[in-house]
Structure 1
Amino acid sequence: MQLRFAVFALFMGSFVLVAEAAEISQFRGSRGDGISVGTQPPVEFSELKNLSWKTQIPGKGWSSPVIADGKLWLTTAIEVFPDESEREKLLLEAGDEPRKFHEKQIAKSITLKLVTVNLSSGKLDEMIDLVHIEKPDSIHRMNSYASPTPFIDGKHIYCHFGTYGTFCIDRNSLSIIWKNQIPQNHSVGPGSSPFIYKNLLILICDGVDKQYVTALDKMTGESVWKTDRPEMDAPDGNRKKSFDTPIYVKDRLGREQLICMGSQWVVAYEPETGKEIWKVLHGKGFSVVPRPVVGNGMVYISTGFGKAQLWAIRIDGTGDVSETHVAWVVKRNIPTQPSPLLLDDRLYVMGDTGIATCFDAIDGTTVWAKRVGGNYVASPLFANGKIYFANQEGIVKVIEPNDKYKEVASNQISGQIKASPVAIENAIILRTEQNLYRFEVDDTSAKKNISIEN
């Protein structure tokens, strides 16, 4: 098997590079932190430059693609839309308040699918039906019914759609091995991506109605453990919901930790049992989206909606360490949706409204801040010595990571970008609301194959 890049083993924030096959297994890459090792995507690209292929993806979804078997795997929702009078009726039946109708979208029905695209040619190969839902709940107009990113493990791929179901699919036969439905009220739609630890599929289930973390047997879908979140001080369930994705770390004491960010609390659990190791009360933050990153003996979290803050927390504690293990807190220009990017002792964040900031990861001081413009949901990518920031206007800013802001390229493509970009080999993969792109450095431009699949 040809070897392409490396992953790491965390130990109090340090990492060791080990070889791994050319695949991307989860949200934010196989490392789970937005860092792509050994890849060389282009710095400059557009619809006319360094474009290898462009493929239309039916339906709508903001899940990021994962890669294995020479294919891109991603989820989508085929929606049947109501007219305006039907829309208002469906929203009322779903329990939405008329004053919030402008924030919501709703479908008459949805069919959730797993899509495969050939990595080399861009050909849309397969569309696997997973489940059909009549009268789904309403979701936020910025969300989709297929936002969680799948997880590749062994010969299987795991697709999660929140309350609409969790699926284990054999990647060879494309058959559904098992499915499980864990009902919950997301209020604004699903968002948490699944995570695999050994033989367990970990899901954060922080809905309006109930909040907990659970582990399923990855071979059967049966429940192994379930741990309720700490008690919250909130006026209603909307301030308790969250949409985060777990991260795994082994601390300096040798303890394995599954760190699960949520509203008001961030908690580290024993992966095998779900038992709490430590927890920190971070305030009133809710609807948390950014996936934490770990390094320097700390976990770095964004506290979500309300007034977003960036916290650095030492991970070697036990019990409630809210008063003892918070290293620093920053309260300005912190994203509520894009995840942070940690490169050694520098932490890079992109605010929702286009303010990029570099922090000293050890003490939290600001190294630089720059308004670059645009609106951001996608998390940043580090590849080939550069940082890629992709915004909703279809612009990808490329900067050099150092102690002064240095932009090296600004690339425009068609359509919104909300899915986080990924790098593979000498290419960058971008998903917009309609298309999937592969841009790569290739001197043989005559080989270009622009594929539009309907």
Structure 2
Amino acid sequence: MMTPKHYLPVALLAGSIVASVSLAEDWTEFRGPGGQGYSSADSLPLSWSETEHIAWKVPIDGDGWSSPVVADGRIYLTTAAPIDGDADKTRSLRAVCIDADDGQVQWNKEVFIQSGDGVQMHKKNSHASATPVLRNDRLYVHFGPSGTACLTTDGELIWKTDRLNFKPVHGNGGSPVLYNETLIVTCDGGDQQFVAGISAASGDVKWKTDRRAEVKKGFSFSTPTLIEVDGQPQAICPGSGAVVAYDPETGAEIWSVDYDEGYSVVPRPIYACGLVFVSSGYDSASLYAIDPTGRGDVTDSHVRWTLDRGVPKTPSMLAVGDELYFVDDGGVASCVDARTGKLHWKERLGGKYSASPFYGDGRIYFQSETGTTTVIAPGKEYNELATNAIGDSDRTFASFAVIDDAILLRSETHLYRIEE
């Protein structure tokens, strides 16, 4: 089978926003430019091991499942370091800057202190799971109700706020996104659920819109996806019971689709072939393909197809060409027609999965929870190109990032730069 080296994901062709999308390799948010899991790099490594094609490996103090973000030869991530050796109590919530060439820490700054009182942390979560956002010389970090902050890329604090109060269940997880001068975050706790827009310049809350779905379990961990439909920007924000599209400037609802009692929603939506793809979360995930041109409750009118088997509860999906690729939490990967949902293939990769796949250099990379990466060629038939493992026994829940022609892999204790 010929490997298509230069597929351009339909998400980018279809006009998915993308105030943040550019052809540069800067990886500025969760899942890269535009949040669709796409890299324009054309010389990424195909194979590696603990001793091969590792440019450097550096320890990261504390813990965190935030993905790295990258700009101008620097890597940024967040971490939560125990204070006084008490891993279950108070945490120092920190932003870290690393030189991309040699892995040396440039600065490591405490942004918030989080009390451990009342924090329910799931074994698959951390106190620093939200991926930062980069724009120009500003770094935006988010720690759920513990606070949101803006720093310069040199580590100077510009503002911080802890006004978005809610009680997370199992910790915080959703990453922020930036639309023009508004930072958008989902705040879906056990006590209340809402979406908020924060001024990127000042940290003031510009708008706050309550979720309307009535569900038994309101907590979720989603990251918004920004798209544009017929000239109207939309922030697609899944939550428990429903996915809602909001006006990113005002927080007004545009459309919604209900999925009953779905909760603990994690995967970030993607946009391809004119459709928004959403997973409904636990206990049994369904995939919804939604036409985003409607208004109001479009559950009965704009859902083009659904799928109930093999749907991820944690990893996000990926579109390449007219195909949709995803791996469920149990390690079964699938490829379906994005327009119809027709199954092309299903393959067991092995292991468990939390990280989201990405596309680059004509390949798709799936990373398991133990650092094994399966690389395949896009296509309607399964074509495995390589399987790579790192020597760490650490867990690997954080999603990949890309810098130049290198892959950044964050394990439980280290950050790797992998390249030919």
Structure-1-length-normalised TM-score: 0.86
Q: Which residue of 1 aligns with 2:412?
A: 433
Shift of 1:282: 1.7
Give the structure 2 partner of residue 368 of structure 1: 345
1: distance between equivalents of 2:409 and 2:42? Answer: 15
- Whole-Å Cα distance in 2 between the matches of residues 188 and 429 of structure 1? 26
Change in CA separation of 1:18 and 1:140 when aligned onto 2, cut-off 3 Å = closer
Partner of 2:77: 74
Q: In the alignment, which residue of structure 2 is the partner of 1:398?
A: 375
User: What is the CA–CA distance in structure 2 between the aligned matches of 1:294 and 1:365, rounded to whole Å?
Assistant: 17
Give ranges in structure 1 of 5+ residues lacking alignment: 1-5, 84-105, 442-454
2:312 partner letter? P
Contact 2:25 2:402 in 1 (8 A): no
- Match of residue 47 from structure 2: 44
Match of 2:227 in 1: 249
Q: Deviations over 1:154-187 (max 9, x none)?
A: 2110000001110100113x11111111221111
2:96 is aligned with 1:118: no
1:73-100, CA deviations, whole angstroms, 9 ceiling, x for partnerless residues? Answer: 00000025888xxxxxxxxxxxxxxxxx
2:37 paired with 1:34: yes
Give the AA of the match of 1:40.
Answer: S
- Aligned residues of 1:55 and 1:124 also touching (Cα < 8 A): no
Task: State whether residues 80 and 107 of structure 1, in contact with CA within 8 Å, keep that contact through their aligned partners in structure 2.
Answer: no
Counterpart of 2:296 in structure 1 is: 319
Distance in 1 (CA, whole Å) between partners of 2:116 and 2:377 is 47
Q: Residues 170 and 197 (structure 1 numbering): CA distance in 2 closer, same or farther, change over 3 Å?
A: same
Q: Which amino acid aligns with 1:130?
A: V
Instruction: State the alpha-carbon separation in 1 of the partners of residues 13 and 180 from structure 2.
Output: 16
CA distance in 1, matches of 2:72, 2:20: 23
Counterpart of 2:174 in structure 1 is 192
Cα distance change of structure 1 residues 227 and 363 upon mapping to structure 2, 3 Å threshold: same
TM-score by length of 2: 0.93
> For residues 16 and 203 of structure 1, what CA distance do their matches in structure 2 show?
17
Return closer, same or farther for 1:135/1:38 CA change in 2, 3 Å cut-off.
closer
Superposition deviation, residue 271 in structure 1 = 1.2
What secondary structure does 1:31 align onto? helix
Q: CA deviation at 1:344?
A: 2.1
1:148 aligns with 2:127: no
Q: Cα distance, 1:15 vs. partner?
A: 9.4
Distance in structure 2 (CA, Å) of the matches to 1:319 and 1:31: 25
**SS in structure 2 opposite 1:306?**
coil
- 1:70 CA displacement: 1.0
Unpaired runs of 5+ residues, structure 2, are: 1-7
1:418 corresponds, among 378, 391, 397, to 397
Q: Is the 8 A contact 1:10 1:16 kept in 2?
A: no
Answer yes or no: is the 8 Å Cα contact 1:11–1:250 preserved in 2.
Answer: no
> Shift in Å at residue 125 of structure 1?
2.1
Distance 1:116 1:403 in 2: 40
Instruction: Measure how far apart 1:21 and its partner are.
Output: 3.9
User: How many aligned residue pairs are there?
Assistant: 408
Q: Distance in 2 between matches of 1:198 and 1:309?
A: 32
Match of 1:231 among 213, 226, 240: 213
